């Protein structure tokens, strides 16, 4: 198994989530590469799975996640399995969760060629502050690790060679 976990982050929260996913996947995969999305320049053709995550800011998915999809369109459209996540709301109410999911779905809908094997939104966390005020953190670490495992389990089985 050759897996890439790519992330787009501004304040580091999405990176921490990607790190948790990579740690989970390393328990079962030979090679798990964890990198910022903007640093992935080589072909993804040899990947068995790509997990791509980015934060949602002011109704938009992180631009580095968009650029990643644009740069790797050929491999992803040709069938390299990709699972996508967004880091969404910082308030735990149904409307905030729904709004974040709509924002991620809208970002992905711009790419009709993209067919992710899994898409989700995780709770976000307040950016670092210099005050002593309590930061809100809606990241559910069990859900994050479980989603990564489910994405791994959804990889299509390789086709047997034809004779």
pLDDT digits (tens, 9 = 90+) for 77-132: 999 999 999 999 988 999 999 999 999 999 999 999 999 999 999 999 988 775 66
The CATH class for the domain spanning 2-126+135-153 reads: alpha beta
Q: Which of 50, 43, 65 is nearest to 111 (CA)?
A: 65
pLDDT digits (tens, 9 = 90+) for 37-80: 999 999 999 999 999 999 998 889 999 999 999 999 999 999 99
Evaluate whether 139 touches 104 at the Cβ level (below 8 Å).
no
């Amino acid at each position: 198994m050759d897996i890439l976990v790519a992330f787009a982050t501004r304040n580091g929260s999405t990176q921490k989530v990607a790190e948790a996913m990579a740690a989970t996947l390393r328990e079962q995969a030979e090679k798990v590469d964890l990198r910022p999305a903007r640093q992935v320049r080589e072909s993804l053709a040899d990947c068995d799975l790509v997990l791509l995550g980015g934060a949602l800011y002011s109704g938009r998915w992180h631009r580095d996640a968009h650029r990643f999809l644009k740069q790797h369109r050929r491999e992803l459209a040709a069938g390299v399995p990709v699972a996508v996540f967004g880091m969404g709301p910082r308030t735990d109410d149904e409307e905030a969760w729904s709004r974040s999911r709509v924002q991620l779905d809208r970002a992905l809908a711009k790419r009709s060629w993209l067919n992710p094997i899994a898409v989700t939104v995780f709770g976000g966390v307040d950016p670092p502050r210099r005050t002593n005020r309590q930061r809100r953190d809606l990241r559910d670490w069990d859900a994050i690790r479980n989603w990564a495992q489910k994405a791994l389990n959804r990889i299509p089985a390789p086709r047997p060679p034809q004779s």
